[in-house]
Amino acid sequence: MAEDSTPPVDQLAATTLTSSPTPPLQKAEFSNRTLIKTILSRPDGGAALAGQKVTIGGWVKTGREQGKGSFAFLEVNDGSCPANLQVIVDSSVYQLSHLVATGTCVWLEGELKSPPEGTKQKIEFRVHKVLDVGPVDPAKYPLPKTRLTLEFLRDVVHLRPRTNTISAVARIRNALAYATHTFFQQHGFLYIHTPIITTSDCEGAGEMFQVTTLINEAEKLEKELIKNPPPSEADIEAAKKVVEEKGKAVADLKAAKASKGEISASVTELTKAKENLSKLEERSKLRPGISKKDGKIDYSQDFFARQAFLTVSGQLQVESFACCLSSVYTFGPTFRAEHSHTSRHLAEFWMVEPEIAFADLQDDMNCAEKYVQFLCKWLLDNCLDDLQFMAKTFDKGCIDRLTMVSSTPFERVCYTEAVEILENVKDKKFENKVEWGIDLASEHERYLTEVVFQKPVIVYNYPKGIKAFYMRLNDDSKTVAAMDVLVPKVGELIGGSQREERLEVIQQRILDMGLPLEPYEWYLDLRRYGTVKHSGFGLGFERMILFATGIDNIRDVIPFPRYPGRADL
Amino acid sequence: MAEDSTPPVDQLAATTLTSSPTPPLQKAEFSNRTLIKTILSRPDGGAALAGQKVTIGGWVKTGREQGKGSFAFLEVNDGSCPANLQVIVDSSVYQLSHLVATGTCVWLEGELKSPPEGTKQKIEFRVHKVLDVGPVDPAKYPLPKTRLTLEFLRDVVHLRPRTNTISAVARIRNALAYATHTFFQQHGFLYIHTPIITTSDCEGAGEMFQVTTLINEAEKLEKELIKNPPPSEADIEAAKKVVEEKGKAVADLKAAKASKGEISASVTELTKAKENLSKLEERSKLRPGISKKDGKIDYSQDFFARQAFLTVSGQLQVESFACCLSSVYTFGPTFRAEHSHTSRHLAEFWMVEPEIAFADLQDDMNCAEKYVQFLCKWLLDNCLDDLQFMAKTFDKGCIDRLTMVSSTPFERVCYTEAVEILENVKDKKFENKVEWGIDLASEHERYLTEVVFQKPVIVYNYPKGIKAFYMRLNDDSKTVAAMDVLVPKVGELIGGSQREERLEVIQQRILDMGLPLEPYEWYLDLRRYGTVKHSGFGLGFERMILFATGIDNIRDVIPFPRYPGRADL
């Protein structure tokens, strides 16, 4: 599709609904309203629905009184699609001034009508009855009607999904998530929930967030000690004295051959005194602050009885399922506590990580290529209206890019060749020097995919020195069976590898990297018992959304962005 | 379906594949192997496939040499279904002793053959070529062939998915997750990723895990200070003296009207000396330990510049999307730092939380009922073989229960009536006394659903005192529009409510509960601007799996259970 041939709205509907050209109006089953999408996203733009009585609910995008206040036009959106339904309401039906403010919620009964000839829309809605209104005081509404920057919107994260851009991103994100599940389910993969709280560190490096209850416990204790101070030495001495006395009393009674009843009563008193003493001694040991042992924090007192972190990847854990269920994937949040303030990094982001048994690097690349193409095609089939909005507003080329990627076989080039290509580039000066052994920088990746090949590129067989220990060592002993998928606009979208399945080789790789074996013993067990050739990759879900939408800052493609200094709500 | 009428295996295949009675063999697209499920789960048990050459991969469940070592039988499983493929391999093809150990991984080329008459299976596989083997030393394998308890398996969490039970649970869990997405997508709901790290506390109470980098930073600093001790007072005094001298030198040169060059060189030296002093002064302030301010932990130094926690629910955040996109849901991990050692609680668990605009409590109950029924039907349609395994091994009644729930309208009874019913129970003595105002205990919930109604029950309109501030106050001012879905075996499966959409009412409810308004201002904004009647609920995903499988302990239905003292891997 050429950049400037974006189809008009009525063609669009035909495109998005090819499988059922005239779908029925869909009532939201658990709410008394008809989805506006099912009115407007029809081949005829909804024209044939004239005369139908429906109930709709949504929020006013823009409203204006007309005809000297005798009626009002409202553009109403219910989130089901980017388009608004044009609503006409008479002043005899409701006080118009209470309806026209941007952001007002309206729930309306009425009738679909053909609009006057020459108007843009094919159908409009005339209100018979107002069921409910959620008003807005326009003087106080934090989202004025003027065009707002994405940066401004990050400060009103709870209201920003009301904007065209953030709601379109939400629908695209939703579509990509369901497409992800559908793709892997269709291919027999099982979805595995890998843990969020972990005691393993996947990469053996990386800044991780700590998960703890120690600080909270320490604060509780401090408060308690202020309210109820620990016993003094004198208190303990006094309690010791009581024990002594009670002990002596028992001995005296026994010596005097007193009655069983008397002795037993006296023993009970002694026991109580001893209990009291040990309680006081226990309390006297309490110290404000996090509990320490030998000068170090005593993690045996933490919730999990050891140090725990937020996961940086579910890969190692999902491998334990691949090594018996064959084809699996995980899709969940991952975390990096890096102090990077770039437009490409979040502290909390989502990753899709399939893992395939009986698969080598070629199979892995095949899966990655098919998956990315499936995502692109899915968006074109299901979100074309939202993509057209993004093309109009942010990135003219986004639909072309999706179309190209969905239908073009990915170029595959080994790392050594990619470096040679980059070394011979004459028309551009890179900021980072290219030579065999470097990790490709974003500028190199984008040059390969955008300029050299002008399509997605898979670079494979990277130097072992720049890759993780679990990647399979190639026969040249210099490279590993790793691969990165590079796409225009974002560069690296996917990183993956065939995993090292040979016990001795992976043990040596761990040691060579200066890592201890002990924390990986469970992972090594997967190689010790019934080891299998297997491969997998990770797709940064937000990167995929950046690629699809053309939005520049990753903070705008996740509902609640977390980055240094910010975790609103 | 009566409890003892579990269909034999060949009927089962017909049941699970009703829509396509003779599906083609499915090659795993990204791996050179045919899914064993597509061989065995056919109406004829695979009989018609005799003569086909295929490649399979999987792990040996049991193996034995036969015919004086001339051939071996292997039961091979690839995780695609609970059934094993019977494999025959000749001693001329491979050394049999390397294949027969339980847990061995095998990748095999061969031919499907009709077995001798009178054998149980309808098809077997004769090996032509062994592509790869991952051996097992049976003397060391941590999973002996003897029957293992689920409790034992919790100590080998990385290997336990190799067992029949944990792999069946994984397939059921996968099916329920995809069913969840499919249900909500079909009904026009958008999937929203609510945040895991949060600075809001949903319930205004609850034990939360803290997420921090402060401890890590403090430990780094401590190490650094040992390696490179802070300056002494003498160091600082000396540096001050240098500044003084350099200042005097500048003054002297100026007084002497020295050349511009001389003065400027001298000023440069002074600036350097000042910088050095201020660096030393800065370093002298460094103290080991977490940085404090006014005796309290200085959270401005933490990663998010404030205290942050793991979410206990995505509800409040997802409401901000419902109040513009209308029908949304979240499905993700949630966390409770409760020290409960029961079989019903995890520190990390998954929740499904839909939120519907323009919906009241009735709509909410309709949605919950339809969703639970959809899940049950989905399992019966897609996982009958796994359910039959669970029925055989853990819970004879699980298939009946799913069938009943999928097809029986849920009873709806208000709280007041439910309490009256329970107060009049004569045949059972409850441990917890029943009276109006109490929160129903599990024993009450199970009695209602299992004994009184013998079907799922929705109890609604609970006393406001035992429910959260965001639940809509009923006109009686005593109850709120809350509802719980109770099912046999687990009791409460779902908790939900209509949300309080009236600004003044919800503000008062927050204050009445002794909570501050400030942290909820963003949430109140949803009522201030375009407020809408809306409702939602939360389903505990692991509870649903307990319900479906009949397994007793929640630690066995999540891949990597987290609970006090344990977070393996």
- What are the E-state strand segments in B78-230? 85-90, 105-113, 124-134, 190-191, 197-198, 210-212
Residues 6+ apart with CB under 8 A from A474: A461, A480, A481
Per-residue pLDDT at A363: 98
Per-residue pLDDT at A462: 98
Looking at CA atoms only, how far is residue B167 from chain A in angstroms? 7
Dihedral over Cα of B447, B453, B459, B461: its sign: negative
- CB–CB of A171 and B188 under 8 A? no
Q: Could you please report the per-residue DSSP string of A124-166?
A: EEEEEEEEEEE---TTT-SS-SS---HHHHGGGTTTGGGSHHH
Residue matched to tokens 């990165």: A484
Tell me the average pLDDT of chain A.
92
pLDDT of residue A10 exceeding 90, the answer is: no
Looking at CA atoms only, how far is residue B87 from chain A in angstroms? 17
**ipTM for the whole complex:** 0.92
Q: Percent of chain B having pLDDT more than 90?
A: 85
Per-residue pLDDT at A292: 87
Residue B21: which pLDDT band, with cuts at 50, 70 and 90?
Answer: very low
pLDDT of residue B151 exceeding 90, the answer is: yes
Question: Which residue blocks in B291-414 are alpha helix, DSSP H?
Answer: 315-325, 361-382, 384-393, 398-407
Residue B22: which pLDDT band, with cuts at 50, 70 and 90?
Answer: low
Per-residue pLDDT at A202: 52
CA angle at A259 for the pair A253 and A265, rounded to the nearest 5°: 70
- Residue A49 corresponds to which amino acid? L
Per-residue pLDDT at B219: 86
Report yes or no: A201 at the B interface, CB cutoff 8 Å: no
Tell me the average pLDDT of chain B.
92
Residue matched to tokens 């639909």: A399
Residues 6+ apart with CB under 8 A from B248: none
pTM confidence score: 0.92
Q: What are phi and psi of A480, to 5 degrees?
A: -120, 160
Instruction: Give the Cα separation of A357 and A469 in Å (integer).
Output: 19
| Across A337-346, B3-12, B197-206, least confident range | B3-12
Q: Which residues pair with A459 in a beta bridge?
A: A413, A484
Residues of A in contact with B34 (CB under 8 A): none
Give the mean pLDDT of A400-411. 97
Looking at CA atoms only, how far is residue B342 from chain A in angstroms? 15
| Residue A27 DSSP label | B
B133-148 residues labelled b (16+ CB within 10 A) or e (exposed): bbbbeeeebbbeeeee
- CB–CB of A29 and B350 under 8 A? no
Report yes or no: A566 at the B interface, CB cutoff 8 Å: yes
Residue A159: which pLDDT band, with cuts at 50, 70 and 90?
Answer: very high
Give the mean pLDDT of B46-56. 95
Query: In this complex, which of A173, A332, A562 lies closest to B197 when CB atoms are compared?
Result: A562
Per-residue pLDDT at B417: 98
Query: In this complex, which of B158, B326, B359 lies closest to A525 when CB atoms are compared?
Result: B158
Report yes or no: B303 at the A interface, CB cutoff 8 Å: yes
Instruction: Give the model confidence (pLDDT) of B492-516 as tens digits.
Output: 999 999 999 999 999 999 999 999 9
Query: In this complex, which of B199, B200, B324 lies closest to A59 when CB atoms are compared?
Result: B324
pLDDT of residue B14 exceeding 60, the answer is: no
Per-residue pLDDT at B144: 79
- CB–CB of B59 and A530 under 8 A? yes
Per-residue pLDDT at B7: 33
Instruction: Give the model confidence (pLDDT) of B183-236 as tens digits.
Output: 999 999 999 999 999 998 655 445 899 999 999 888 888 888 889 888 989 999
Residue A295: which pLDDT band, with cuts at 50, 70 and 90?
Answer: confident
Give the mean pLDDT of B61-83. 97
- CB–CB of B358 and A305 under 8 A? no
Q: How far is CA B387 from CA B307, B397, B493, in A?
A: 45, 10, 19
Per-residue pLDDT at A222: 87
Give the chain A residue whose CA is nearest to the CA of B522.
A158
Query: In this complex, which of B33, B173, B216 lies closest to A210 when CB atoms are compared?
Result: B216
Instruction: Give the Cα separation of B548 and B569 in Å (integer).
Output: 27
Report yes or no: B499 at the A interface, CB cutoff 8 Å: no
pLDDT of residue A386 exceeding 90, the answer is: yes
Residues of B in contact with A533 (CB under 8 A): 107, 132
Instruction: Give the model confidence (pLDDT) of A168-206 as tens digits.
Output: 999 999 999 999 999 999 999 999 999 999 998 655 445
Per-residue pLDDT at B156: 97
Instruction: Give the model confidence (pLDDT) of A30-79 as tens digits.
Output: 999 999 999 999 999 999 999 999 999 999 999 999 999 999 999 999 99
- CB–CB of A141 and B529 under 8 A? yes
Residues 6+ apart with CB under 8 A from B464: B471, B473, B477, B478, B479, B480, B509
Instruction: Give the model confidence (pLDDT) of B337-386 as tens digits.
Output: 999 899 999 999 999 999 999 999 999 999 999 999 999 999 999 999 99
* CB pairs < 8 Å spanning A and B: 380
